[in-house]
Amino acid sequence: MREPAFEPHDHRRCVDGALQTAESLIAARGLRLTPVRRRALEILLERHGAMGAYEVLERLAADGYGHQPPVAYRALDFLVENGLAHRIRRLNAFAACAHPGADHHAAFLICRLCNALAEIPADALRNHLLAGAEESGFAVERLSIEALGLCPNCQSPEPS
């Protein structure tokens, strides 16, 4: 399976699809995709990679929104709570969800050189872990699976 994150592709389709899904998803829940929230999502969607909250904040501020951390954190938290973005704990950063609205569980592949971030299905993995955890009587609520390594493009030696 080829990951868009690691391949050239028509990224506008990723962006447009995600934004449309976001609109309808949020509307269906009776919530509001306000300008600052929508803009935060657009910013995350610019690349298949993670972005720190302060980087998002700078961009929002440049667009005329607030200049203080809570502005970014609130927008990002909203996106995460509604499945439109993920929080990447290893990086203390956020990334747009690659399959919004799909009610999926994902594992993340993070390239340590080019910062590309792919989201691969992790439902099977999750079920295995849940089974293992249940043996100890532990009830899993949130699960994060994050791998750091090299994407296909960054594995070849660099031609100087």
Report the residue from 14, 25, 61, 129 that binds Zn ion according to the rule CB under 5 A: 14
Which CB contacts under 8 angstroms, 24+ apart, belong to 5-12?
5/48, 5/49, 5/98, 5/109, 5/116, 5/117, 5/118, 5/119, 5/151, 6/111, 6/116, 6/118, 6/151, 6/152, 6/153, 11/48
158 is a site residue for its own copies (CB under 8 A): no
Question: b/e string for 9-36 if b means 16 or more Cβ within 10 A?
Answer: eeeeebeeebbebbeebbeeeeeebeeb
64 is a site residue for its own copies (CB under 8 A): no
157 is a site residue for its own copies (CB under 8 A): no
- How many residues in the shown chain lie near DNA by CB under 7 A? 24
Residue 57 contact, options Zn ion, its own copies, DNA, none, Cβ 5-8 Å cut-off depending on partner type: none
Report the residue from 7, 16, 27, 35 that binds DNA according to the rule CB under 7 A: 35
75 is a site residue for DNA (CB under 7 A): yes
Q: Please report the sign of the dihedral spanned by the C-alpha atoms of residue 116, residue 21, residue 89, residue 50.
A: positive
112 is a site residue for DNA (CB under 7 A): no
Residue 66 contact, options DNA, its own copies, Zn ion, none, Cβ 5-8 Å cut-off depending on partner type: DNA
Report the residue from 142, 157, 159, 160 that binds its own copies according to the rule CB under 8 A: 142
Residues in contact with DNA by CB under 7 A are: 31-32, 34-37, 52-55, 65-71, 73-75, 77-78, 92-93
